[in-house]
Structure 1
Amino acid sequence: MEHDHKISGIYYCPMHCEGEKTYDQPGNCPVCGMDLVEQPVLSTATKYTCPMHPEIVRDEPGSCPICGMDLVPMTVNEEEEDKTYVKLLHKFKIAAIFTIPIFLIAMSEMLPDNPLFKLMDLKYWNWVQFVLSIPVVFYATWMFFERGWRSIVTWKLNMFTLIAIGAGAAWLFSVFAILFPDIFPDQFKTHMGTVYVYFEAAVVILTLVLLGQLLEARAHGKTNSAIKELLKLAPNKATKLIDGKEHEVGIDSIQKGDLLRVKPGEKIPVDGSIKEGESTIDESMISGEPIPVDKKTGDNVSSGTINGNRSFVMIAEKVGSETLLSQIIEMVNSASRSKAPIQKLADKISGFFVPIVVLIALVTFIVWAIYGPEPAYVYAFVNAIAVLIIACPCALGLATPMSVMVGVGKGARSGVLIKNAESLEKMNAIDVLVIDKTGTVTEGKPSVEKIVSVESRFTEEEVIRRVISLNSSSEHPLAKATLLYGNERNVTVMPVSDFEAVVGKGVIGTLEGENLALGNKKLMEQVNAEISVELHDRVKAEQEQGKTVSYLAVDKTAVGFVVISDKIKESSEKAIRRLQEEGLEVIMLTGDNEDTARAVSETIGLNGYKAQMLPEDKMNEVKRLQHEGKKVAMAGDGINDAPALSQADIGIAMGSGTDVAIESSGITLVKGDLNGIAKARMLSHQVMRNIKENLFFALGYNVLGIPIAAGLLYPFFGILLSPMIAALAMSFSSISVILNSLRLRKVKLD
């Protein structure tokens, strides 16, 4: 069952001319003139935005106040989303209906013994072209002139500046030619005494540009397909248990703590944990992994994932915007609107491009007027217009955002969430990958193998009771493992006072007058606890096998230890080998002891490791690598990783980790294994290559087309580029960029 998706009311420009800026009303981008695009979310209000200026958000459709482009709805509702496309399609049909006759009339002049002239003289056919051109200019494509005028007034010159000047000049010249033919010199006149008119050039150019806008509107719908698919995952109803009875309720009425029954085949409505029962959950839509996951009582479940063939009762823990699905959608939306650093190059080029093109067009006119063959002014006029038209930089503006939108969507479907376009670009330049151990290389689900007493005055049960009681106030994964161990043995938890978690070392507290400390060797040194030779040797033996060991000290004497093992993820070794083959150096920084770190490093073939690292140590190590000139990516999942994640050139959070780690990162891996980093690396490489290809397509047409349009080949080969062919080439450059960007949807990341 699909959600009644509503629209966000947040609009943005697909060209991201002003970065992540959004608008609350639809319209046109004030910088480039493109239609604003609406951001799809699970929301309740219809909003519109500019595809070029995401900061423009409006409650109603209209045009962007910056660039004049049509605003587009930010919605997954197909009818809403298609409004811009349908409107442009209608205008295109009108334009085509009137343009085709004008084109045929103009082309008929090339026919020997023109049959049309037997019906009427040429000057009357010129009037027919004028009348037919009015609906094209003043209805179907009038928005281009509005956008062009706005760009000149605000001096934010863009593609519509050139279109408005070029097509407008051709149309106005033609109007004056039929109204006041006597003011023109003979050079501008045909052998029949009429002035050359260019109604067909103007309307064909405008119609072709409209066709390009139509194709772009359809393409923008495809680039948001990943978000639309994610939005479709959210159900709109759930079965709530009230006093033991089932009630069907809307998704918006669910609150934290509610008990919900999820039946076989249903989508899980919100994030929570299983209270009763067990099942198999298909999480492929969020994690990108096709194999269903077995879930039992106490396990977490996520909104939008699909229940298997068993019913269970869950507790709602995260609702609305707090759910993983909502956070994924927001992250994908934000990343799609963000601007990659490489786009700054395109922006700079665009900023200088339009004035330079106008200058080239003026020079073209002057050169042809002085040195061109008769009628020199006609050649000058036509070639100047051709320069203006073929140089339109619309494809240049599309090159980066189209690739970023498609790439971010592709990543979301594969369990790789990109926070912003800058992170996507930086990932391609990484030299060193720094990884944490627990939850990154290993499963992050440690289990207690044994708790040992080495003091005759404490039995094993007494050591267990102290360990469990002290850890009852801690939220560390290792503490949870010991609590589970104690629950299985029905250990009674005693109240602990003066509890304190010592970051990177362990925990301390007071129990029945005893000063307890549970943690690594650094903590023992901090509390001045004495460690016997026997205890040290037994702990070292366990650590050499790659296990984590915590000492228990009672009143400054270490009396026992806890042995915890954390299985290495099956995907870790394969993923690290793949990254190393791509030239990455992979280093592990862990708070664990030297022996455990060495064992893990040797098992999975790391380039290096450092053990007993505190949060500030990890951050300083990242700084050291950066000072050596290396680009560093850091992958981690805990609060203790957050400083290093923020310091790194690109932070990668494992989705199984904490909110702090995810917030500090540029990339989040939903499944939380190292294979996701390999996917992110491949995605970054593919997107950057795609952007460079797009820039080549965009600039290639301009670089080659402008000299030809200016008539550079005419003295040698007699070749001139008509304004209509120039318009077709300009549109084709945009189509090339769009089609090339959409190829990213088929890229294989595994």
Structure 2
Amino acid sequence: MKTVQPISEKLQHRSFPVLGLSCASCAASVQSMLSSQAGVSAVAVNYANATATVDYDPAAIREEDMQSVIRSIGYDLVIEKEQAAEVVEKSEQNRYKKLKIHTLWAAILSMPLMVISMWGMDIPYAGLLMWILATPVVFVFGGRFFTSAYRQLIHGKAGMDTLVALSTGVAYLYSLTVFIFPDFWASKGLPGHLYFESAAVVITFILLGKLLEMQAKSRTSADIKKLMGTQPTTATVIRDGRAEQVSVNAIKIGDHLLVKPGEAIAVDGNVLSGMPLINESMITGEPVAVQKEKDAIVYAGTLNEHTSFEMTATQVGSDTVLASIIEMVKNAQGSKAPIQKLVDKIAARFVLGVLIIAAITFLSWWWLGGAAEISRGVVAVVTVLVIACPCALGLATPAAIMVGIGRGAAMGILIKDAAHLQTLAGVTDIVLDKTGTLTTGKPVVQEAVWLEYNDQLANILLAIERSSQHPLADAVADYAASLLPHKDTVNGLTHATFLPGLGLEAAVNDINYYVGNARLLEDKGIVLNDQSLDHFLQRHPNDTIIYFADGGHKKLLAGLALADTLKPEAKTTLDRLRDQGITIHMLTGDNSATASHIAAQTGITFFEANLLPADKLTYIEQLQRAGKVVAMIGDGINDSAALAQADISMAMSKGSAVAMDVAGMTLVGDRLDKIADGIQLSRLTNKTIKENLFWAFFYNLIGIPVAAGILYPFTGYMLNPMIAGAAMAMSSICVLAASLRLRYRKLQ
């Protein structure tokens, strides 16, 4: 029994690679052993990506102690932090190479065994030859199963290796007694069949299955490997005016780097000089390269497609965006979906259940058929033990989750964990913030009407707005600059005064000019009575209107309508979501007129305006009380409470860090169409999980009774252990193949 000790408040949370896992029961054994250790608070072992996520008290248990415990049952825990990836990769390469050699030799020795068993039992010394051929296959190339089974047994554990060792061991030992003591079996009136070929071929098929499984499992993590592969190992740093090649690990914040065309960027930073075209598809999922100007942010792992440029390093090592994404995806792939808890419980008890069924099978053959049927009873036991290995069951959920989350990352959809991936599939209602989510969050001039225009006046407007810090000033300045061929502001701007709630007053060459709302012009005695202005206002009932006036001559010069604009993909994205059966809601702190205008443009029926953060939270709670599964999408700190309350939360990556931290899903690149992609990907992943589990259970539900001989009384058919071994291997391959389809399924 686990000794209960007080756990310190400073629990460590860490994922360790586990070496040597061969089935779901193996993962359960590792999890059980770690959970039983004093100082360990929580453990989750994922068979698909071979990791153990552990919460432990370093004051009560060391990592070396956990490693020692796992080694005692035939596996290994990689505790090195810096070299973990290299250790795992080297171990997997060695394991694959060794498995390939063993499989090849097992097949070479098994083929003549099958030939002899089928057509050559009458040749001289047939039994001796079969024994000589089978022994190295079973105990050398299949020795791993016996060693692992023994180590698990001394700790009271059992797994797939136990089933393989028992099944092949029983077939081999039975055949050996028949070969060495044939007179004994004959004197008892019992048939003395040799099953050396069954033991050897079962080992061969299982080794082949494991070989194919390793290949398939490596492809389930292809997306994360692709992300990791975008990180360069060296970079060109400019120091003391000289360019030198250095390791990426040697780069420090503030270093100046030179990035040449075709090179991947080593760290996050800002452009110092040059205007490169950067392909950010590995982070955002967008294939079109983006033009970067001075001070623009560039990210590690992205590719410079055109012209050399210099940059300043701002984030290095594990602090880069790419490193954060890789770490997040790794953690997500290692997490368990709620449905996996049930599967884990079944897998943990599965082997014991199979052993009981095997015992009942043998006793039933003996009891119903007498001593004459002992030989068939042995075959049935061997077949039951072989066919019932729970590999497919253990792979059904985590393999699909690894592929689904990996594909999401490649598309710029970062999902925090498997639970969020599973919940996302059941979303019935989506609540969207308006500003920065549905819209660009950056107002622009929609239309301007000039009552009097010349370049000098446009220059004055540009100069005034560039002197302002008001949120709308940039939009007006950009518009004014677009009118001018040289975009040079006038000289003579002596001062600009901000008038709260009204606008700006500025003196240019001793003449006062005003930029602001209608109230400002009324206060300054400037009349707004031009007919063309009336038509202009009628065309923009929901937009913000800014006026430009000459105070010296008391006349209006121009009117400008400003509005936030919908993202280009907003309408099509919302249509896709409706096609998926999802109801759309919009919540905003903006005024009712603006909210109504945006809702009309996008076809949103349910919307609320003038809301505080607490109001958004209440709205979501009301939907949940009505039985809805609610997703909330936002990008600001004011959305964080609503994001936390929603069943599934999504944040835009250009939004606040608070919103992204709360969110279960982050959309890199801020494209709304990724919402629909994420939901469809989640539904496909969940569908794949259910299909995998169905076929894994169905395989065992049908396979075990047939292996036990249930068809024999009616058809005279007994399942051959060799066929059972092949079927067991193929069941795992089929589950992995079904999961890998997620990488290529089209999202519509």
| Shorter-chain TM-score range | 0.7 to 0.9
1:716 to 695, 705, 714: 714
Partner of 1:311: 308
Pick closer, same or farther for the CA change 1:77–1:25 going to 2, 3 Å.
closer
Is 2:325 the partner of 1:324?
no
1:23 to 12, 16, 23: 16
Is 2:127 the partner of 1:130?
no
Q: Does the aligned pair in 2 maintain the 1:390–1:726 contact within 8 Å?
A: yes
Measure the CA separation in 2 of the matches of 1:727 and 1:188.
Answer: 30
Measure the CA separation in 1 of the matches of 2:22 and 2:663.
Answer: 30
> Larger deviation: 74-83 or 602-611?
74-83
Partner of 1:566: 564
Partner of 2:143: 142
Measure the CA separation in 2 of the matches of 1:187 and 1:646.
Answer: 74
Is 2:101 the partner of 1:90?
yes
Pick closer, same or farther for the CA change 1:184–1:22 going to 2, 3 Å.
farther
Pick closer, same or farther for the CA change 1:386–1:332 going to 2, 3 Å.
same
Matching of residues 721-740 of structure 1 within 5 Å: 721-740=719-738
Is 2:161 the partner of 1:160?
yes
Pick closer, same or farther for the CA change 1:315–1:322 going to 2, 3 Å.
same
2:373 to 364, 371, 376: 376
Q: Which amino acid aligns with 2:160?
A: M
Report how far residue 292 of structure 1 moved.
1.9
Partner of 1:257: 254
Q: Secondary structure at the match of 2:270?
A: strand
Pick closer, same or farther for the CA change 1:143–1:50 going to 2, 3 Å.
farther
Partner of 1:367: 364
Measure the CA separation in 1 of the matches of 2:347 and 2:630.
Answer: 32
1:280 to 240, 260, 277: 277
Q: Secondary structure at the match of 1:653?
A: strand
Is 2:743 the partner of 1:745?
yes
Pick closer, same or farther for the CA change 1:311–1:565 going to 2, 3 Å.
farther
Report how far residue 581 of structure 1 moved.
0.9
Q: Does the aligned pair in 2 maintain the 1:432–1:632 contact within 8 Å?
A: yes
Matching of residues 286-301 of structure 1 within 5 Å: 286-301=283-298
Q: Which amino acid aligns with 2:93?
A: D
Is 2:231 the partner of 1:234?
yes
Matching of residues 528-539 of structure 1 within 5 Å: none
Q: Which amino acid aligns with 2:228?
A: L
Measure the CA separation in 2 of the matches of 1:412 and 1:132.
Answer: 49
Report how far residue 579 of structure 1 moved.
0.5
Measure the CA separation in 1 of the matches of 2:645 and 2:29.
Answer: 35
Pick closer, same or farther for the CA change 1:316–1:21 going to 2, 3 Å.
closer
Q: Which amino acid aligns with 1:713?
A: L
1:386-429 deviation per Cα after TM superposition (whole angstroms, max 9, x unaligned): 12221211111111111111222222222212221111111110
Pick closer, same or farther for the CA change 1:625–1:68 going to 2, 3 Å.
farther
Q: Which runs of 5+ in 1 are unaligned?
A: 1-19, 38-47, 452-460, 472-476, 497-504, 506-533, 551-560
Measure the CA separation in 1 of the matches of 2:159 and 2:542.
Answer: 61
Measure the CA separation in 2 of the matches of 1:620 and 1:707.
Answer: 55
Matching of residues 672-683 of structure 1 within 5 Å: 672-683=670-681
Measure the CA separation in 2 of the matches of 1:394 and 1:187.
Answer: 40
User: What RMSD over aligned residues (CA atoms) do the two structures have, in Å?
Assistant: 4.4
Report how far residue 268 of structure 1 moved.
2.2
Report how far residue 691 of structure 1 moved.
1.4
Q: Structure 1 length normalisation: TM-score?
A: 0.76
Measure the CA separation in 2 of the matches of 1:162 and 1:548.
Answer: 74
Pick closer, same or farther for the CA change 1:56–1:409 going to 2, 3 Å.
closer
Q: Which amino acid aligns with 2:143?
A: W
Pick closer, same or farther for the CA change 1:130–1:603 going to 2, 3 Å.
same
1:219 to 210, 216, 221: 216
> Larger deviation: 611-620 or 429-438?
611-620
Partner of 1:554: none
Report how far residue 634 of structure 1 moved.
1.2
Q: Secondary structure at the match of 1:241?
A: strand
Q: Which amino acid aligns with 2:745?
A: V
1:587-623 deviation per Cα after TM superposition (whole angstroms, max 9, x unaligned): 1122222222221111111232222222332223222
Q: Secondary structure at the match of 1:139?
A: helix
Q: Which amino acid aligns with 1:258?
A: D
Measure the CA separation in 2 of the matches of 1:186 and 1:353.
Answer: 39
Q: Does the aligned pair in 1 maintain the 2:213–2:736 contact within 8 Å?
A: yes
2:111 to 100, 104, 116: 100
Partner of 2:576: 578
Q: Does the aligned pair in 2 maintain the 1:33–1:67 contact within 8 Å?
A: no
Q: Which amino acid aligns with 1:740?
A: A
Measure the CA separation in 1 of the matches of 2:397 and 2:296.
Answer: 41
Measure the CA separation in 2 of the matches of 1:25 and 1:78.
Answer: 12
Partner of 1:421: 418
Measure the CA separation in 2 of the matches of 1:571 and 1:728.
Answer: 50
Report how far residue 133 of structure 1 moved.
2.8
Pick closer, same or farther for the CA change 1:548–1:685 going to 2, 3 Å.
farther
Pick closer, same or farther for the CA change 1:303–1:572 going to 2, 3 Å.
same
Report how far residue 146 of structure 1 moved.
3.0
Pick closer, same or farther for the CA change 1:359–1:228 going to 2, 3 Å.
same
Q: Which runs of 5+ in 2 are unaligned?
A: 1-12, 31-44, 55-62, 79-83, 449-459, 482-486, 502-526, 529-533, 547-558
Partner of 1:588: 586
Measure the CA separation in 2 of the matches of 1:55 and 1:492.
Answer: 67
Matching of residues 108-507 of structure 1 within 5 Å: 108=119, 114=122, 116=123, 119-120=124-125, 125-180=126-181, 184=185, 186=187, 189-190=190-191, 195-372=192-369, 375-446=372-443
- Tell me the number of residue pairs that the alignment of Structure 1 and Structure 2 aligns: 653
Pick closer, same or farther for the CA change 1:419–1:494 going to 2, 3 Å.
farther
Q: Secondary structure at the match of 2:718?
A: coil
Identity of aligned residues (%): 41
> Larger deviation: 611-620 or 64-73?
64-73
Measure the CA separation in 1 of the matches of 2:477 and 2:239.
Answer: 31
> Larger deviation: 658-667 or 418-427?
658-667
Q: Does the aligned pair in 1 maintain the 2:99–2:207 contact within 8 Å?
A: yes
Q: Does the aligned pair in 1 maintain the 2:232–2:266 contact within 8 Å?
A: yes
Report how far residue 568 of structure 1 moved.
1.2
Pick closer, same or farther for the CA change 1:358–1:185 going to 2, 3 Å.
farther
Q: Does the aligned pair in 2 maintain the 1:545–1:596 contact within 8 Å?
A: no
Q: Does the aligned pair in 1 maintain the 2:48–2:398 contact within 8 Å?
A: no
Q: Which amino acid aligns with 1:33?
A: C
1:598 to 596, 615, 638: 596
1:77-118 deviation per Cα after TM superposition (whole angstroms, max 9, x unaligned): 976653322121112123223333333333335x6xx3x1xx
Pick closer, same or farther for the CA change 1:661–1:542 going to 2, 3 Å.
farther
